[in-house]
Structures are given as structure tokens and as C-alpha cells.
Structure 1
Amino acid sequence: MTLTQAAFGADTFTKKTLLVLGGSLFIALAAQVSVPFFPVPMTLQTLAILIVGLSFGARLGAVTVLAYLAEGAAGLPVFANMGAGLPYMMGPTAGFLLGFVAMAYVAGLAAGRGMVAMLVAAFVAAALIYLPGLAWPLGVAQATGVEAGWAGLSFDKVLGAFATPFLLGDAVKAVLAALAVAGGMKFFAK
């Protein structure tokens, strides 16, 4: 049983729709809590995505992130620093944005499975976003025709700009997400 099932009862289409809309809004609000780094800002998006995945389950969590990305692609200012639109989605954060879907799905695989499983899943999911997140500036962006100062950097420079400053924060967010959802499960178990 997921946290949302414990809190709201059996799943219905209407409940799932409202959860997707509410979850995408939660992620959008978390994206606005931003610490300016260059070229990628540090936000609370990943914390919100982990919470959504751990609370909603794998499929509904991934659908929620897809809805969030669709909202941004449609021009709603849901990304960090009120970013929106396809040009924003092709910027330096493109790989991370795509990785968010997998992050929610992997975290959601442990939904309702206990604190240890959720913690492990949160760490794995947090690490997983670095695969597309780093692949994008390492060469995928250039291969798709993106020309920017951050595209095609050396591996060392990409690690220094896109990974190293965020590792500790992502580990802390993984722990916080697992603790928050496990606490919610305990609350609703009573």
C-alpha cells in the first residue's frame, strides 16, 4: 500500500488525476526553491520527485513527472526560476529533466515497502538522474545540434559543474524523502 492509498483510500481515476495534478504542482513549487549555480541550479525538485515517487508508486509517480514536463513544454513556468518552454528543456538541465521520470519510477518501486527499501530506492534513484544529466552536456546536446558553452565540455568540467556540487545535497534529499514518507506511512497506519 502506498502512502497516497493509506491517506486517501482506494484508487479511482478521479483520485489519480488529482494526485497527478497536485504532485506536478508540488514539484513545480519545489523547483522555485533555488540556489543559483551555473550552469545548473540547485533546487528542491529532486526532493519533491522522490517524495512523489515514494508516495504514489512507480507508475503514478512517473506519470506525474511526465505531466510536470508536459506542463513545462506547454509554456507553464514550472521549471527552476520560472523556466518554461521547449528551449528551456533543451538547455543544460535537459538530461536531468528526462532523468526525473526514471527517478520517480525507481523511487516508486519501493513505495510502501518500509524505511530501508525506500531509503535504498531513493539513493539509487538520486544517482540514476546523473546518467542522462551528465550525458547531455558531454555530447548528446551537440549531437542533437545544440550549440552552447556548456555543451561538449570535457568529462572533468562536466563533473565539476553538473555533479560534484550536488552530490551531498542529493544524498540529504534522499534521506529526507524516505524519512518523510516513512513517517507519513506510520501516521496513517495508526
Structure 2
Amino acid sequence: MAQQTLLQASVGARSLLVKALAVLGGSAVIALGAQVSVPMLPVPMSLQTLAVLMVGLTAGSRLGAAAVIAYLVEGAMGLPVFAGGAAGLPILMGPTGGFLFGFVAMAFVAGFLAERGMARGVIGTAIAGLIASVALYVPGVLWLDMATGLDLNGAIAAGMTPFLLGDAVKIAIAALAVTGAWTALSSRRG
């Protein structure tokens, strides 16, 4: 049974206007996270995964996934929202395309688990973040394997292994932030 997301509990998120603002705001947060990046080949390290995870955990499955889709459409239309200010369809079809499309799954899974009450405590939120990360890495690594000619082990070594420690830190940050937001919301309500 679905429970309220953090967004719904704090601002309502029932009206079309609030939903549209949540989607646009979420896509902006993801775009900002993409600009904080360390160039690595073939996949840059950025704060996108933290941003996507936070959007999914706070907005829920549908709005979180919609925010990522809006972000991808913005980038495809030429807005410089991808890592390093990149834009255009070639980015979506290049080696990192599977990770970009995997962000949709990541946000959806994080939001789905949050809607089921899993993102209320630090441990549950961290587990939700870990499961959502799997939803990102599977399409990302498989796409990288196909797009670059790397074998599966090479794709894992280039597109997953270097990011695991950073992603663990991002999951911990997301778990602390979301749990803290729920605590603050509860104490504000009395």
C-alpha cells in the first residue's frame, strides 16, 4: 500500500501545478548535479546519481521518473544539462546513454520504495538507495558494453567499479538527508 512521499507530506503535491513544478524542479536539481563532475572516461563521475536518488526518494516513483524524463528531453533538445554542460542526442546514444536512461529506472525504484514506507529511517532509505542503484547499473553497464566494444568485465571495470565507493557515500548522504527531512517535518507538525 502506498504511503505519502516527502513531497506530498510537506507541500501536498496533489494539484497539477505542484506536480509540474516538482517535475521541473527535479529536472533542474539533476541538471545542477550533473555540472558537479569529475571527468573520467568513458563515464564521468558526478552528483547526478545523488540528485536522481533524492528526487526519487522525495517525489515518488511517477514524479521522480517524470523529472528524469524531463531532464533527458531537455538535454536531447540541446540544453546544456548533461555532465560538463554537454547536450544533444549523441550524448544519449553514446557510451553513457545507458546510465542516462537508467536514471529513469533509478528514480522510479527509489520513489516506489519510498511510497511503500521504506524511506523513513536511515537504514531503510539506504537500502532503498542501494536497490535503486542496481536499477541504474544494469542498463548502464550493458549499454556501455554494447556501445564501446568492451566485454562485460571491461564495462563493469570502467562503468561501475570506480563509482561504487562514491555511490555508497551518496546513498548515505541521501539517507541522512531524507531521514532528517522526515524528522524535521514531524517535529514541525508537533
- TM more than 0.5: yes
- The aligned runs of 1:8-27 (5 Å cut-off) are 8-27=11-30
CA distance in 2, matches of 1:182, 1:27: 20
Q: Is the 8 A contact 1:110 1:117 kept in 2?
A: no
One-letter amino acid of the counterpart of residue 141, structure 2? L
Partner residue, 1:179: 176
Please list the CA deviations of residues 22-49 of structure 1 after superposition, one character each: whole Å capped at 9, or x if unmatched.
1100000000000111111000000000
Q: Is the 8 A contact 2:55 2:64 kept in 1?
A: yes
One-letter amino acid of the counterpart of residue 2, structure 1? T
Q: Is the 8 A contact 1:96 1:130 kept in 2?
A: yes
Please list the CA deviations of residues 102-128 of structure 1 after superposition, one character each: whole Å capped at 9, or x if unmatched.
000110012262223322111011122
Q: Which secondary structure does the structure 2 equivalent of 1:14 belong to?
A: helix
Superposed displacement of residue 162, structure 1: 0.9
Partner residue, 1:147: none
Identity, % of aligned pairs? 56
Q: Which secondary structure does the structure 2 equivalent of 1:132 belong to?
A: helix
Partner residue, 1:83: 86
Q: Is the 8 A contact 2:102 2:136 kept in 1?
A: yes
CA distance in 2, matches of 1:178, 1:11: 25
Q: Is the 8 A contact 2:142 2:155 kept in 1?
A: no
So what's the TM-score if we normalise by structure 1? Answer: 0.90
One-letter amino acid of the counterpart of residue 171, structure 1? A
Q: Is the 8 A contact 2:13 2:19 kept in 1?
A: no
Partner residue, 2:165: 168
One-letter amino acid of the counterpart of residue 179, structure 2? A
Partner residue, 1:57: 60
Partner residue, 1:117: 124
Superposed displacement of residue 10, structure 1: 4.7
Runs of 5+ unmatched residues, structure 2: none
Partner residue, 2:139: 132
Partner residue, 2:69: 66
CA distance in 2, matches of 1:110, 1:157: 31
Partner residue, 1:30: 33
Aligned residues: 180
Please list the CA deviations of residues 64-83 of structure 1 after superposition, one character each: whole Å capped at 9, or x if unmatched.
11111111111111100001
Q: Is the 8 A contact 1:126 1:171 kept in 2?
A: no
Q: Is the 8 A contact 2:114 2:128 kept in 1?
A: no
Runs of 5+ unmatched residues, structure 1: 142-150
